[in-house]
Amino acid sequence: YGGMGLDFSYNIAVAEELGNIRCGGIPMAIGVQAGMATPALTRFGSDELKKQFLVPTIAGDFVACLGISEAGAGSDVANIKTTAVRKGNEYVINGGKMWTTSGCQADWMCLLANTSEGPPHRNKSLICLPMNLPGIHIAKKIDKLGMRSSDTAQIFFEDVRVPSKNLIGEEGKGFTYQMLQFQEERLWGVATVLTPLETIIQETIDYTRQRKVFDQSVLHNQAVHFRLAELATEVELLRSLLYRTIALYVEGNDVTKFASMAKLKAGRLAREVTDSCLQFWGGMGFTSEVLVSRFYR
């Protein structure tokens, strides 16, 4: 969006629209490509790197993935162990990455690795890593409870050699670059969940209105009515928090607290709305043919 002179609110508009897809994995994969694996390259990468990796990724010819999490370091980014040691005009990479979305099919990875021995917040760098290099082993596609259409990889690196010009921006700035985009990632996640939650509530209203139990529609029961009204209100409040956070962010404010609050609430509501609504579908809620059971999973 930077190249078109648009602010981050346009990303959020796209993320909300993607919520109309009746599937969680596709919006997530698009989010990784557009808002997680590429922003650092866009902001800090050399023209040569952008031409080689960013242009084909924007065109949709390349799939990008993000190599941050490891078996022992997910949310704790400072604790990663993967190393990239400078040898002449190359980096030699050893270690591994876990929970890598799109990792089985990616053409390149935005890799975070330790490039020196220094303090954990100043010894990391981001590197554009082509995924077809010798020494890259995609160990397995992880079998998951949900997001099943999206491949999540465990990957190992064994003396992988990559040109040192593939470094994004400055050496040692990788942790800082990565932290800069976490707010945007959280807000994207919130935006993609809004429409599905509304859809599930609406489909539950429609179903309970026409489903009869003891000669009256299920919706006619106050307990059902009240609960759906409450859930609809919660979703509306989440939307308001998201929009307030975006407005502050676009004006240049630090929204770490509000973005984290919104992400917390979105995660809670994703479970609460699907669980509550599923109950009102009776036996149908336990089948795979209704959307609510898919989003519950």
Instruction: From the candidates 185, 198, 203, 234, give the one annotated as an active-site residue.
Output: 185
* 49 alpha-carbon distance from chain centroid: 23
Alpha-carbon distance 203 to 64, whole Å?
35
Q: How many C-beta neighbours within 10 Å does residue 25 have?
A: 18
Geometric angle at alpha carbon 14, from 64 and 69, rounded to 5°: 35
The number of residues making up the chain comes to 297
Tokens standing for 187?
Answer: 């807000």
Is 185 one of the catalytic residues?
Answer: yes
DSSP secondary structure string, 49-106? HIIIIIHHHHHTSS-EEEE--BTTBSS-GGG---EEEEETTEEEEEEEEEEEETTTT-
Tokens standing for 15?
Answer: 């993320």
All residues at 6 or more sequence positions from 57 whose CB lies less than 8 Å from its CB, including other chains: 33, 37, 38, 63, 64, 107, 108
Which residues belong to the active site?
185
